[in-house]
Amino acid sequence: MAYRVLMIDDDREMITLGRLILEREGFEVISALGGIEGLEILNKGEQPVDLILLDIMMLGMDGWQVLQIIKKSEKLAHIPVIMLTARHYLEDESETSNYAGMFDGYVVKPFVVRDLLGKIKDLINRSQTAQSSQ
């Protein structure tokens, strides 16, 4: 079974790059061009996802707003979220402390493919283990 990753970003090139990397590793990738489209996909629930890659700096609805909606939803809150950012020191950003504990990791763009894949695989494994023990 291929794990399904939803990539929410407002940069088409980043989505294309993410899709190429993840599909080569055997993941099924669903993409959303922006936060509103990402939330629509999640709320339809037609294609449940195992992990969300969420860009922070997007036009319209930013990644923090999307994250809050996801984590307030009973049916979505269990999905691991990795934040994507162009900022090099996310942990030093004052706004990040407002969202502590809501996301499961972050990757700085441009990212090292090995690092991104490692985080994704680790989170999916932990999530699957937690779900099977419930």
Average pLDDT over residues 76-83: 95
Q: Taking 60 as the threshold, does the pLDDT of residue 19 lie above it?
A: yes
> What integer pLDDT is reported at residue 47 of this predicted model?
85
Domain ranges of the chain: 4-132
Q: What is the CA radius of gyration of the chain?
A: 14
Percentage of the chain beyond pLDDT 70 is 92
Q: Taking 60 as the threshold, does the pLDDT of residue 84 lie above it?
A: yes
Higher model confidence: residue 66 or residue 91?
66
Q: How many CA atoms lie within 13 Å of 45's alpha carbon, on the beta-carbon side? A: 6
57's tokens: 């700096």
Average pLDDT across the chain, whole number: 89
CA distance 80 to 125: 11
> What integer pLDDT is reported at residue 74 of this predicted model?
94
> What integer pLDDT is reported at residue 110 of this predicted model?
81
**Class in CATH terms, 4-132:** alpha beta
Higher model confidence: residue 96 or residue 26?
26
Strand order in the sheet with 28-33: 28-33, 4-9, 51-55, 81-85, 105-108
Average pLDDT over residues 14-39: 96
Q: Taking 90 as the threshold, does the pLDDT of residue 77 lie above it?
A: yes
